[in-house]
Structure 1
């Protein structure tokens, strides 16, 4: 049985940076079409006879039980509101946490329920172009909807019950920790963007990880997706060579797709944490002469904010 890739959308990376093998690049946001809604409120799909016919039992924030006559197959996406929610209204550009239960439109069988336990879904950024934007619109935290997707060439019709659980900050929110003596100094701007000052003296010869803010969320495991913000500087001159903060776009990749030192900084850390990591060439981009073209030979320093985690698909 196949689910539509709504869950996978939350794990999609905003840009490709710091992948293993020193690959980097950017993935451009989709170009709005002439039919793209102007705002998040207008993006919300309309209700219809199919979505209105679904009965939902269960409390918001826990897996639902939906019943409906089968087969159910509208001609277009239909969304009915079960509960408007009483939290703050969400806005385009915000990251949200959400959960959902999916059912076969042919048989009524429950296919899956995800997002109600830590580590099952990454936060997703709302926009009029995304499925999340179309099902939640500019709704309130606590909103529950029924979304009925029509059949396609590759999938039968499907029914989703989705809960809008909350919004997620784009900077780490954990408890501040005492700085490690001799480590690079980190100062934060009002929006949480870090500046890194390299100390005097030689760079460490082994990777050093220290926690600047201690989160209490899901613990990132090897191979998990981690939604992160980061800034990276060279030890040799203190210059920033890469950062997600310039456009405020966190990224998400499996931990195993980063260089070894960066992987060590993520695995075992909890969502909400901010981590400082100093990575020598052996755990970074390799030994060699320091140069301006690439990071070979240089020790690199990152401050990483861990905003979300999603269990590796093989272990879900």
Structure 2
């Protein structure tokens, strides 16, 4: 999976633009978010301060009203816990469902919310990136900064100081709801004749066996597990586990399972056609196998050892979550 855009869960510095519904610039190369963080460590571990402590939250869920008192100074990124939940601590690398609001800290206007997701809920894959820059909390992905190292069921406010001259600071209010599975949770479906055979190990990672005979001339998609979650629509931000192999020799060329089993996130419109066909119309919780000829993969041409041109490709994909990126019309 080489062709996919920059993850929408970008840095705090870009949060105001991204959470307002902009998906950011696409990147032709995958963004690696799978470097493991040190065990039981937070990436930013923001502390509370006068700014975040001053924010007032009335109510919960979609009815929560977030107010910043006039004159509140927001000069540093800070996090205050409004309600501490009773679940397990959320850690980098977890996939969680959450509600959020992004608030203009000067006007108290709601700039963006999770209402674009089913039932007003989004699914967030908390980044595991770690680097020397993590001493600066503005470099940590925004939902990770908000949710990390506090229990599921908590609600928090994070102050986001202005990053551009003339723009207002903002407040991110987040409620974590539950930790989501990182493998397909749907019901098993009988195998489809002629499709590659798939076996799962104890962790859920697939082994793919190519059948005898010629590769199909058209893209074929078959369900291995049938989920009952939201339906993936065109342009959605999806969270998946996947493994890709070549039909020609069965060798793996790309896999989230080979990167510490960390799920991947990307838009359905940012991947090759055959992968897009495998995702759209499927329900969250499903696992599918797709066989795509070169025309729906990386194009026709002479097969060689350095790229995927001319190759028929096979993917097994666990569909873990999907989120529309556009805000609903008011």
TM-score, length-scaled by structure 1: 0.83
d(CA) in 1 for partners of 2:297 and 2:116?
36
Q: Equivalent of 1:275, from 274, 281, 288? A: 288
Alignment of 1:146-295 (within 5 A): 146-154=157-165, 155-247=167-259, 248-295=261-308
1:104 counterpart residue number = 104
Tell me the residue number matched to 1:299. Answer: 312
Distance across 1 between alignment mates of 2:34 and 2:207: 27
1:45 and 1:78 map into 2 onto residues whose CA distance is 6
Contact between 2:227 and 2:283, CA under 8 Å: does it hold in 1? Answer: yes
Cα distance change of structure 1 residues 3 and 63 upon mapping to structure 2, 3 Å threshold: farther
1:49-91 Cα distance to aligned partner (Å, 9 max, x none): 33222221223x4341123422422221222211101122222
In structure 2, distance between residues paired with 1:241 and 1:156: 45
* 1:129-144 aligned within 5 A: 129-144=140-155
Alpha-carbon distance in structure 2 between the residues aligned to 1:233 and 1:298: 10
- Rounded Cα–Cα distance in structure 1 between residues aligned with 2:95 and 2:24: 13
Provide the rounded CA distance (Å) in 2 between the counterparts of 1:5 and 1:168.
26
Q: Distance in 1 between matches of 2:276 and 2:50?
A: 49
Go from structure 1 to structure 2 and tell me whether the alpha carbon gap of 1:153 and 1:182 turns closer, same or farther (over 3 Å shift).
closer
CA shift, 1:307, in A, is: 1.8
2:56 & 2:256 partners in 1: Cα distance? 43
Counterparts of 1:134 and 1:296 in 2: how far apart (Å)? 40
Secondary structure, in 3 states, of the residue corresponding to 1:308? Answer: strand
Distance in 2 between the 1:261 and 1:157 partners? 42
Q: Is the 8 A contact 1:100 1:114 kept in 2?
A: yes
The alignment yields a C-alpha RMSD, in angstroms, of 3.3
In structure 2, distance between residues paired with 1:98 and 1:237: 42
**1:86–1:140 Cα contact (<8 Å) kept:** yes
Alignment partners' CA distance in 2, 1:94 and 1:267: 24
Residue by residue over 1:124-166, the C-alpha shift from the partner in whole angstroms, topping out at 9 and shown as x without a partner, is 2155743333333311110001222233334312122210122
Cα separation, 2, equivalents of 1:30 and 1:300: 26
Task: Tell me the TM-score normalised to structure 2 length.
Answer: 0.80
Structure 1 unmatched runs, 5+:
none
Structure 2 gap segments, 5+ residues each: 1-13, 129-133, 135-139
Q: How many residues align?
A: 302
